[in-house]
Structure 1
């Protein structure tokens, strides 16, 4: 799928019902298990969520996001400052969207992170590359988690 430097897009077929995938995305404890983060709050539209990463190599890194949309079993999205300690992008956030669709044999998950073009130039490439790689790993993590 072609994209410019502004957006990352990943699609993965998950052999699990939509309700199962939705819970893995939006239940803070389940999200934490596959994403490898310990969250301090539950996800709710407009809610600021903080926590600490448990991902190997990133243990203790702060996680901060603001929940954008919660449309049950359709779309879950949040904004965060990508690829860096919170506060280093000058407050510029990207939008991370998880979209769910029924598909033969399970659920099609489409992940889009957009808004990289608004980041300070010296951070843009590093954040894009890091998150592109990160989402490739995380889509495999959620696949393993919901198919277990």
Structure 2
């Protein structure tokens, strides 16, 4: 197993448009299928709920880690995992968005890491589910910014 998921795409849209779609909490929510109640601010919690039909109503909590305008944005979100007989553990997953200009568009890399800290067998289950989820999110942001 690997500790990370990495997805990439090259978008036709400018870095300005892609950056806005990723860091504006309302726009992020439109393509990511989440209703966020407050903006992304370094060091602060962003809360909301999932609107995607498969997870509708589930709680969203993330802490914004780093905002480097038009190049890098990251947050930590949580997976609550348990091992048999163990107390619940809140596992932090780091999500990173890396933007680079490319031929008038934007090369976007999305990385989620931290799976090694999640106990088995939950770790493999979460990683497999999230790998498919990130493939869907790549398609969602492509449709959102490139139409």
Matched, 1:92 2:91: yes
Q: Which string of whole-angstrom CA distances, capped at 9 and with x for unpartnered residues, describes residues 17-55 of structure 1?
A: 000000000000000000010001100101101101111
User: Which runs of 4 or more aligned residues in structure 1 lie more than 4 Å from their structure 2 counterparts after TM superposition?
Assistant: none
- Listed as ranges, the gaps of 5+ residues in structure 2 are 83-88
Task: Give aligned pairs, total.
Answer: 141
In the superposition, the TM-score normalised over structure 1's length comes to 0.91
Q: Name the one with the larger strand percent.
A: 2
CA distance in 2, matches of 1:146, 1:55: 19
User: Match of 2:129?
Assistant: 130
| Aligned-partner SS, 1:121 | coil
Aligned equivalent of 2:3: 6
TM-score of the superposed pair, with normalisation by structure 2: 0.92
SS of 1:8 mapped into structure 2? strand
Distance in structure 1 (CA, Å) of the matches to 2:68 and 2:41: 10
1:105 Cα deviation from its structure 2 partner: 4.0
Match of 2:13 in 1: 16
What CA distance in whole angstroms lies between the structure 2 residues aligned with 1:43 and 1:88?
Answer: 25
| Structure-2 residue corresponding to 1:75 | 72
Q: Does 1:145 align with 2:147?
A: no
Instruction: Flag structure 1 segments of 5+ consecutive residues without an equivalent.
Output: none
